[in-house]
Amino acid sequence: MMFVRSAARPVFACGLAICACAATVHAQDPLKALFTFDNGFTDLSPTNQVPMLIGTPILTQDGFEGGGLLLIGNWAMRLYIDINAAAMPKLTMGGWVREEIGTPIRHFMSHDNMGFDRNICIDYRGGGQGWSCFSGSGVNGFVPVNLKQWQFVAAVYDHAANMTTLYVDGQVKTRPGQPGLGNTYMHIGNSTCCDTGINGTIDSVFVIADALSVERLDEIYTGGVGKVPLCPTVFNSPLDTSMCSGGTLTLMADIDASGTVTHQWQVEMVAGSDVWTTLVNGLVPGTNTFAMGTDSEELVLSGLDADGAKRYRCVGSNACGSKASTPAQVSLCAGDFDCTGFLDTDDFTAFVLAFEAGDESADFDGTGFVDTDDFTAYVLAFEAGC
């Protein structure tokens, strides 16, 4: 099953409440790392990990969902996250892997220092060659590796319950175990001590300070990376954009999490105030700009006027909390006469033709007459750019 996560982007075409509360996730968000590789090595978790690269991992557009990370030999990323039981009694880590070789022992996620510590790997010591995880006293496995195919692989460690769980594409293997003290940092792509790393592509790698249930892992396996975080996470924010007077544009946000996530668009009525008004379908308050999709991930603004040229953001919420996207500035591009979303010589030509024909669309200054004042006003707007 393939999932495609699109970047939020503007799309062009020719009740009122004040929210003063902070739109942030719960302070105890268990998500400690989340890399989709859609935006380079950006960590989407609240901890904002900055990885140290080992070798030269290659960002690709050939991931499971959008971008991915190609690893060869012992290329990897180091994260300064302590996944020892003392620091993280409950741990779930995993992601999607497309392995090219699959033998003999290849490590995916690890903080191992040669004691069968917390670790996901391809191994032969868990009953057969395949995906496995370490359990402190040995290897919990195995699930066969499907070479050159994407597989969702995760391991769950619950120290108090004395249990390790391996999850691969819906298959579950459990084994009692309390892995001992490993390194206080971890690697994604190889081991922190031994053997060889992944030879293939990885995507949507995560570390969560909680022992996820099989049902939650099923949700991630079928729902994709958007279902990894418990609390809402902004995968993509809407982009700043401009549009012609009276034009239509679509702002898109990508905010997701486990369970049901609701979405709500807001507008900053006073520029720079950081005070946000909740939108409902209809006219944006105090403007002639019409808003639709105010409770979805796509906000459509039509009939854009100067008063509607404001900042807009989307807030995603679930039982864990709320998170707001980065606001997008919507600007009015008066010189975009043909409403294509671009300012070029075609706009000037279109205006001149309308002006010479005496068309009412050339009444640029809105006086009700087409005259030289309109021509002067349009030239000034065109030269000002967008």
Query: What residues contact 48, with CB distance under 8 A and at least 6 apart?
Result: none
**Which of 176, 195, 225 marks a domain boundary?**
225
Could you count the other beta carbons within 10 Å of the beta carbon of residue 20? 7
142/17: higher pLDDT: 142
Task: Report the DSSP pairing between strands 241-243 and 328-332.
Answer: parallel
Q: Is residue 26 part of a domain?
A: no
Domain identity same for 218 and 239? no
Domain identity same for 196 and 126? yes
The CATH number that applies at residue 79 is 2.60.120.200
CA torsion, points 358, 362, 366, 370, in degrees to nearest 10? -30
Q: Is residue 24 part of a domain?
A: no
- Looking at every residue in the chain, the average pLDDT score rounds to 91
The CATH number that applies at residue 246 is 2.60.40.10
pTM of the model: 0.85
Local confidence band at 335 (pLDDT 50, 70, 90 cut-offs): confident
Residue type, 104: P
DSSP 126: T
Domain identity same for 321 and 245? yes
Domain identity same for 99 and 183? yes
Q: Is residue 108 part of a domain?
A: yes
* CA–CA separation, 123 and 198 (whole Å): 12
Domain identity same for 63 and 103? yes
Domain identity same for 164 and 257? no
> Looking at residue 303, what is its pLDDT?
93
* CA–CA separation, 171 and 220 (whole Å): 13
Nearest CA-CA partner of 113 in 9, 187, 189, 183:
183
Domain identity same for 219 and 244? no
> Looking at residue 14, what is its pLDDT?
37
pLDDT at 316 over 60: yes
Specify the long-range contacts of residues 56-59, CB closer than 8 Å, at least 24 apart.
57/189
Token output for 380: 């000034």
Domain identity same for 165 and 252? no
Q: Is residue 120 part of a domain?
A: yes
Mean pLDDT of 189-196: 93
Q: Is-contact 237 8, C-beta < 8 A?
A: yes
Give residue 376's domain range: 345-384
Q: Is residue 5 part of a domain?
A: no
**H/E run at residue 142:** strand 139-143
Q: Is residue 39 part of a domain?
A: yes
Instruction: Give the number of domains in the chain.
Output: 3
Domain identity same for 90 and 145? yes
